[in-house]
Structure 1
Amino acid sequence: MSGVTSPAGAFSTRADRFRQRGLAVGLVTAVGLTAGCSVVGGGSDDGSDDSRSVVLVTHDSFSYDEEVVAAFERESGIDLDIRQSGDAGELTNSLVLSRDNPIGDVAFGVDSTFAGRALAEGVFEDYRSPRAERGADDYRVADSDALTAIDVGDVCLNIDREWFAESDVPAPTGLDDLLDPAYRDLLVVQDPATSSPGLAFLLATIAHAGEDGWRDYWTGLRDNGVRVTGGWTEAYTQDFSGSSGNGPRPIVVSYASSPAAEIGADGTPRTEALLDTCYQQVEYAGVLAGTDRPEDARAVVDFLLSEPFQAQLAEYMYVYPVRADVELPEAWREAAPLPEESVTLPADEVEGNRDEWVSEWRDLVLG
């Protein structure tokens, strides 16, 4: 079918957003962050473990300001042993499979699309941080205390402002606009089976069109020439005209934060996130059930909600802090404000239908 390509590559995670900056800021500062490797602290030189070492299991996109983590270690007496475990889906799967013999003490990176599974499988024990009332409580899952929201990274349509300014086509404002023949062959999206933003966008269309209408919506997108790629990197850096790759398509599925990476010399972003098309994607942390260091694990959750850690999230992970009292960088406030009314679906509904929805989508769109 015209405009549709088959998926390629591995599951695309939020690590992709580091590439959109053309920098390795987070990855460079996180040197040594490899699976099973303690990057700070983690025992004495003779191999004994006489310290208060806490294993934080997270995804491959985790990045941070080393000075902030070092300050936490000094003040708490805890050595933070950070171990990465793939993307959000792989992380969740690892936690579920190891729940009877947990692979760590605390985990960070289970997101909205997999939160229902983690809760259903009893991966985390209940813990409500005293800092949760400063914003994290706004993103609670099913009124549970087992998961604590740490950051928000909404997935939205992004447009190339210059392309639309120079064309005879008005910029779209919402999802329904994309069905208009005026936008034929202008949109590139990611396969929800292989891409985190692709899955979030599928969920956005289901929330928008409903269970009875989302298939017709995607049939319309297919017939209007939507292009499908395996992951964010290909879609944003090769197909999207608003990135440095100067691709042919001026509409792409990306993040609400993406325009902050596309600010020109005049201070104006080349791109714009359409805030009426966003799906709310939240990342959570929690104390793993069965840990023998529950108090120290809770202290790590508290740390992830601390002002110093929350304040560096935008720079190091390109996500929005959940704390209401932490300001975004000035460039973000102008170019990439946090959407006020993103759509979302209940965690249990996503968990109960995710695989079937993705399978149906692939049959419908890719054939």
Structure 2
Amino acid sequence: MAGLGFTAVAVLLTSCSLVGEDDAPSSAASEVVLVTHDSFVISDELIAQFKQESGFDLKIKASGDAGALTNKLVLTKDNPTGDVAFGIDNTFGSRALDGGVLAAYEAPLPTGADQYLLAGDDDQRLTPIDNGNVCVNIDESWFAEKDMAPPADLEDLTDPAYADLFVTPGATTSSPGLAFLLATIAEYGDGWDDYWTRLIDNGTLVTEGWTDAYQVNFTQGGGKGKRPIVTSYDSSPAFTVDGEGASSTSALESTCFLQVEYAGVLTGAANPDGAQALIDFMLGPDFQAALPESMYVFPVDATAPLPQDWARHATRPAEPLALDPAEIAANRDQWLREWTDIVSR
């Protein structure tokens, strides 16, 4: 997602699939313009397949992360820069709906996708495309080498035994960072600020984004990180599998917060038919099956196949932490101001 996938890799892949980047909406009926986040990835083969099946050329415009994308859509709602948007997630969905940037479209949903519909979206202006959970991940091998029990839940992260071991991306600069903040609010309610004070006092490192947290500071990342606890995704353990098929990391299911990414037809779209066709294609079996390896997220189609390592190591929480989208919309800015005050002390 914010959206939900491994941003550093996805951005590199995205650069290969962008068809164009200018901001003027196309008036050509043969072209559909997708406005999305920087981590969106689609293969050339799927782009060609979409054109063959629908008759539309696909043009892609990247617009930052999920928050930046949503804000840009609201600011340009009277003069939309595309036909369809993808990458608005459940933490920003209410803002997009309240901003009037999306038109109603009841897409034919695949098996299981209805469970990801956004609460309060009675007109179905947002169609669920993928999902994933932001979770605390631990380096099992590090704790085994230290002969030390790993943390089991959010509260353990404030225990002095785990001082200076946790790294998380910031809530104001990162989609998974915001999701982790929301997870703590869902868990602690009005006491979340006290929890964060204890978390910071225990040596938690806050980075700008997921890449710095996971790839640089996490012990199982791409560098020589020194922190064996990190905010990442429920799919992350599928990417730390050794030659014998075992993963050296795991996600703590009690810490997970569900993220869902949506697509929607933009109000005033020059090509609403093309926008609907693209949403239908993204719900189709080929696009859904490609999601785990292209954007590191789970398909909303319950029948879509998963890579072998995902089926074995990407454990899904039965009851992830959650907040009502309306509550997030009403309090997000205030929560972020309070969070910033705590981590900047």
Same fold (TM over 0.5): yes
Q: 1:28 offset after TM fit, Å?
A: 6.2
Task: Show CA shifts across 1:118-168 (max 9, x none).
Answer: 0111111111111x2523221111242010111112111010010111123
One-letter code of the match for 1:93? N
Which secondary structure does the structure 1 equivalent of 2:6 belong to? helix
Aligned residue in 2 for 1:341:
319
Which secondary structure does the structure 1 equivalent of 2:182 belong to? helix
Task: Show CA shifts across 1:184-229 (max 9, x none).
Answer: 111111211111111110000000111x210111111122111111
The total of aligned residue pairs comes to 343
One-letter code of the match for 1:240? F
Which secondary structure does the structure 2 equivalent of 1:280 belong to? strand
CA distance in 1, matches of 2:78, 2:241: 48
CA distance in 1, matches of 2:325, 2:169: 22
Task: Show CA shifts across 1:25-51 (max 9, x none).
Answer: x33652x4552399xxx99xxxxx765
Q: 1:33 to 1:344 in 2, by over 3 A?
A: farther
**Are positions 1:287 and 2:265 aligned together?**
yes
CA distance in 1, matches of 2:204, 2:23: 42
The correspondence for 1:137, drawn from 105, 114, 126, is: 114
The correspondence for 1:203, drawn from 168, 172, 182, is: 182
Aligned residue in 1 for 2:132:
153
Aligned residue in 1 for 2:150:
171
Aligned residue in 2 for 1:9:
none
Q: Is the 8 A contact 2:82 2:270 kept in 1?
A: no
Q: Counterparts of 1:19-98 in structure 2 under 5 Å?
A: 19=8, 24=12, 26-27=13-14, 29-30=16-17, 32-36=18-22, 52-98=30-76
**Are positions 1:316 and 2:294 aligned together?**
yes
> TM-score, length-normalised on structure 2?
0.93
Aligned residue in 1 for 2:255:
277
Q: Is the 8 A contact 1:275 1:339 kept in 2?
A: yes
One-letter code of the match for 1:89? G
The correspondence for 1:226, drawn from 201, 204, 217, is: 204
Q: Is the 8 A contact 2:110 2:283 kept in 1?
A: no
Q: Is the 8 A contact 1:101 1:290 kept in 2?
A: yes
Q: Is the 8 A contact 1:59 1:109 kept in 2?
A: yes
CA distance in 1, matches of 2:3, 2:275: 25
Q: Is the 8 A contact 2:3 2:87 kept in 1?
A: no
Aligned residue in 2 for 1:183:
162
CA distance in 1, matches of 2:19, 2:157: 41
Q: 1:13 offset after TM fit, Å?
A: 4.9
CA distance in 2, matches of 1:280, 1:34: 32
CA distance in 1, matches of 2:63, 2:15: 18
Gaps of 5+ in 2: none
Aligned residue in 2 for 1:128:
106
**Are positions 1:325 and 2:303 aligned together?**
yes
Gaps of 5+ in 1: 1-11, 44-48
Q: 1:18 offset after TM fit, Å?
A: 4.7
Q: Is the 8 A contact 1:150 1:322 kept in 2?
A: yes
Identical-residue share of aligned pairs (%): 50
One-letter code of the match for 2:155? D
CA distance in 2, matches of 1:65, 1:267: 27
Which secondary structure does the structure 1 equivalent of 2:335 belong to? helix
Q: 1:348 offset after TM fit, Å?
A: 1.3
Task: Show CA shifts across 1:267-322 (max 9, x none).
Answer: 21121111221111111000111124222221111111011100001111111111
Q: 1:311 to 1:61 in 2, by over 3 A?
A: same
> TM-score, length-normalised on structure 1?
0.88
Q: Is the 8 A contact 1:123 1:289 kept in 2?
A: yes
Q: 1:175 to 1:104 in 2, by over 3 A?
A: same
Which one is further off, 308-317 or 74-83?
Answer: 74-83
Q: 1:33 to 1:343 in 2, by over 3 A?
A: farther
- State the Cα RMSD in Å: 2.3
The correspondence for 1:236, drawn from 214, 217, 223, is: 214
Which secondary structure does the structure 2 equivalent of 1:159 belong to? strand
**Are positions 1:362 and 2:340 aligned together?**
yes
CA distance in 2, matches of 1:51, 1:361: 46
Which secondary structure does the structure 1 equivalent of 2:257 belong to? coil
**Are positions 1:265 and 2:254 aligned together?**
no
Q: 1:28 to 1:191 in 2, by over 3 A?
A: closer
CA distance in 1, matches of 2:275, 2:20: 20
Q: 1:255 offset after TM fit, Å?
A: 1.1
Q: Is the 8 A contact 1:157 1:277 kept in 2?
A: yes
CA distance in 2, matches of 1:34, 1:112: 27
Q: 1:294 to 1:27 in 2, by over 3 A?
A: closer
Q: Is the 8 A contact 1:151 1:321 kept in 2?
A: yes
Q: Is the 8 A contact 1:185 1:224 kept in 2?
A: yes
